[in-house]
Chain A
């Protein structure tokens, strides 16, 4: 028999691989620049990755079921706009804009889920449609202009809580809860089962539509959260915000070892993927690489990381 290694070992080795790459790049940057290994810069990196991190954790749920969500970026913009519309000073208490933003995201996600499960339409198509619709709605609701005049109570959410930036805290809480959920909860186990073999999961008594609906719903909710955090950070609801955010998020998840065909992956891997992309972005900034070249380098790294992983798993 071919001595294929157990998949759990493979996941572990994969993660160790990313950690090693992460440390190599960080070490290189620490040596080659004065500014990388400073508390200020590292906090900055954490702050920069937090929005992509929240999105990546959310889309991990969908990718695990074997689906995909291309609407993240547009839904971020729509949720931000809706949040900002309710966030003019003196209008409502802080809870209203935040929950409206979250609700917008969750509704978009659930609608994706319903169309995928009930409508039987491919996730790629459904979320491609949602990507356009949500962007259009963001422009309609905002009248095409940034929704300004935001209450300071909301913009403070982009600030610090003690020594920690609040967006980073949000990312950490989301990641921790998702990690616990996927590892310890029955529904989390079902996500892996559905992604691993949908027919078999159904035959084993798993309610496949419910599981998928849940995955898209969670992804939408977290996208709404990312939208609120982004709006707070840029102090406006920007209808054009979040362009191509879905690509960075999906890239982070895939670098983290989650299979695009579903059933394999983890939140831990996603976090490592997010950090890797964040450190690379920061490093390229610090080295003064032009953003044109940055795009090329990032693309090469994404494909290279996945290629290495596939080669390793085949050997």
Chain B
């Protein structure tokens, strides 16, 4: 029904998807598997009209098509449910569901009774019973997802593309979502979805395609694959090629955190961090990892507990406090709290450490240019020049600029919150190597990551957070993904 030939996409000169051939059939659930950055989302977004392919053909019902926008794709019957959902929080469920296709009466007014009746009908097709009058903001992520799927159904979609629909869901919610997907399958809809979760794929998918480093490695019926063979296809190489060995021996304790609490986000968190140590912070989404490290940086202060750096108790209420005492941080949300889009690469880079290049408040342009040149070379930042606006750089290069920004302040403790989220494999490898170098130079690193291979390969020690509490401390050499997950799962 939907086919793609030789589909290719470049970002900033780097191929993220190369000559992929894939086809989707009605009434079939097709899973796309692969590591982050393998090209899954890119493939979906091209099929949904969000991105235009640089080469290759998309064929829809036997005809080649070019979708200029998601709207184009939707009008042909291809809908996408995004990884980051985009509901309008203050409108109610029915209004969100039928946005832009509200039933109207003879006067052109929205017929509210009919609106809610139709919304309920679509939701019932998915075997869900939601109060269509409640505002979208009150819904759980899983419920929002169901509304998004119903929204696609209401628009008569024949293909529904879902980007990691289960990433933020509890087991119970996953079951509800799977019931909805099974309903779609029986109704002859082609469902395409991406996931990282093995068990799910074998429960749900009819067919599995594996992507690796922008290549479509294989497409097979699910029954032909085992979890082991699937992993072999996905990884395709030894992890040691990506992760540098961490050889540094940690030194003295420099950071002591005791009983740090900010209810309800996290409670009673205590740990220490040594010079040159890389400490991993693992946990599910919403376990409080980002909240804990934000408190250590002063981004969002804790209510109680103490933070001692070099034996001195710190009162952190703003990031400026954290920086002044030698704590640096790379925030998780690159767009929201990382880059300043309209400013140049250079101005973004030097923002934090600008004081070092100033005399009496006046910026020393020569010193600033010199440090920019050095950082550009050291971090292999690809930009057309120091004056290029940072929003035009690729995600990986933006991340390198932000990392360089944090390091220019020469922090004793560096917090990295999801440092490799959404960047290509090349940039990831550079960031891994950098973590190794910093650790060797004696920087203490707190690494928050949802990618367990990163946590397992790069750290000296792993803390697992569960629902805001410290659940376990593990030795990466003597543990595995399953054990970490067992501690991370709500009991």
Contact with A204, one of B10, B11, B336, B405 (Cβ below 8 angstroms):
B405
Interface stretch (choices A84-92, A121-129, A195-203, A266-274): A195-203
Interface stretch (choices B130-138, B284-292, B356-364): B356-364
Given contacts A4-B392, A7-B389, A205-B319, contact A200 B352 (CB under 8 A): no
Chain B residues within 8 Å of A185, by CB? 361-363
Does A118 sit at the interface, judged by CB under 8 A? no
Q: Would you call A186 and B363 a contact (CB within 8 A)?
A: yes
Q: Would you call A201 and B362 a contact (CB within 8 A)?
A: no
Interface residues of B in 335-368 (CB under 8 A from A): 336-344, 347, 351-352, 354-355, 358, 361-363, 365
Q: Would you call A8 and B387 a contact (CB within 8 A)?
A: yes
Contact with B347, one of A4, A187, A192, A203 (Cβ below 8 angstroms):
A192
Bitwise, A164-195 to B at CB < 8 A (1) or not (0) is: 00000000000000000000111101001100
Chain B residues within 8 Å of A7, by CB? 342, 344, 389
Give the docked Cα–Cα distance between A174 and B330 (Å). Answer: 39
Nearest CB in chain B to that of A8: its residue: B387
Chain B residues within 8 Å of A6, by CB? 344, 384, 387-389, 392
Does B320 sit at the interface, judged by CB under 8 A? yes
Give the docked Cα–Cα distance between A207 and B337 (Å). Answer: 14
Does A300 sit at the interface, judged by CB under 8 A? no
Q: Would you call A1 and B363 a contact (CB within 8 A)?
A: no
Q: Would you call B336 and A199 a contact (CB within 8 A)?
A: yes
Q: Would you call A184 and B363 a contact (CB within 8 A)?
A: yes
Does B329 sit at the interface, judged by CB under 8 A? yes
Instruction: With both chains docked as a complex, state the minimum distance between the C-beta of B409 and any C-beta of chain A, in angstroms.
Output: 8
Q: Would you call B341 and A196 a contact (CB within 8 A)?
A: yes
Instruction: With both chains docked as a complex, state the minimum distance between the C-beta of A285 and any C-beta of chain B, in angstroms.
Output: 38
Given contacts A8-B387, A189-B354, A263-B342, contact A199 B337 (CB under 8 A): yes
Interface residues of B in 288-314 (CB under 8 A from A): 297, 299
Does B318 sit at the interface, judged by CB under 8 A? yes
Given contacts A189-B347, A203-B299, A207-B318, contact A196 B342 (CB under 8 A): yes
Q: Would you call B361 and A200 a contact (CB within 8 A)?
A: no
Instruction: With both chains docked as a complex, state the minimum distance between the C-beta of A293 and any C-beta of chain B, in angstroms.
Output: 38
Given contacts A185-B361, A193-B340, A196-B343, contact A201 B320 (CB under 8 A): no
Chain A residues within 8 Å of B79, by CB? none
Does A76 sit at the interface, judged by CB under 8 A? no
Does B209 sit at the interface, judged by CB under 8 A? no
Give the docked Cα–Cα distance between A138 and B462 (Å). Answer: 65
Chain A residues within 8 Å of B11, by CB? 1
Give the docked Cα–Cα distance between A263 and B365 (Å). Answer: 20
Does A206 sit at the interface, judged by CB under 8 A? yes
Q: Would you call A186 and B347 a contact (CB within 8 A)?
A: no
Chain A residues within 8 Å of B10, by CB? 1
Chain B residues within 8 Å of A200, by CB? 331, 336-340
Q: A7, A197, A200 — which one has the most chain B CB atoms within 10 A of its CB?
A: A200
Interface residues of B in 363-409 (CB under 8 A from A): 363, 365, 384, 387-389, 392, 405, 409
Give the docked Cα–Cα distance between A1 and B351 (Å). Answer: 27
Given contacts A187-B361, A204-B352, A204-B405, contact A197 B339 (CB under 8 A): yes
Given contacts A202-B319, A205-B320, A206-B320, contact A1 B362 (CB under 8 A): no
Does B413 sit at the interface, judged by CB under 8 A? no
Does A264 sit at the interface, judged by CB under 8 A? yes
Give the docked Cα–Cα distance between A197 and B322 (Å). Answer: 20
Does B12 sit at the interface, judged by CB under 8 A? yes
Give the docked Cα–Cα distance between A1 and B342 (Å). Answer: 18
Give the docked Cα–Cα distance between A171 and B329 (Å). Answer: 43
Does B323 sit at the interface, judged by CB under 8 A? yes
Nearest CB in chain B to that of A210: its residue: B320
Q: Would you call B342 and A264 a contact (CB within 8 A)?
A: yes
Nearest CB in chain A to that of B347: its residue: A189
Instruction: With both chains docked as a complex, state the minimum distance between the C-beta of B107 and any C-beta of chain A, in angstroms.
Output: 33
Residues of A within 8 A of B (CB): 1, 4, 6-8, 184-187, 189, 192-193, 196-197, 199-207, 259, 263-264
What are 7 A-B interface contacts by the 8 Å CB criterion?
Answer: A4-B392, A6-B387, A6-B389, A186-B355, A189-B347, A204-B351, A205-B322
Known: A7-B344, A187-B361, A202-B337. 16 other contacts (CB 8 A): A1-B10, A4-B392, A6-B387, A7-B342, A184-B365, A186-B363, A192-B340, A196-B340, A197-B341, A200-B339, A200-B340, A202-B318, A202-B319, A203-B297, A203-B319, A205-B323
7 tightest Cβ-Cβ pairs between the two chains A and B: A196-B340, A199-B337, A7-B389, A205-B323, A197-B340, A203-B337, A205-B320
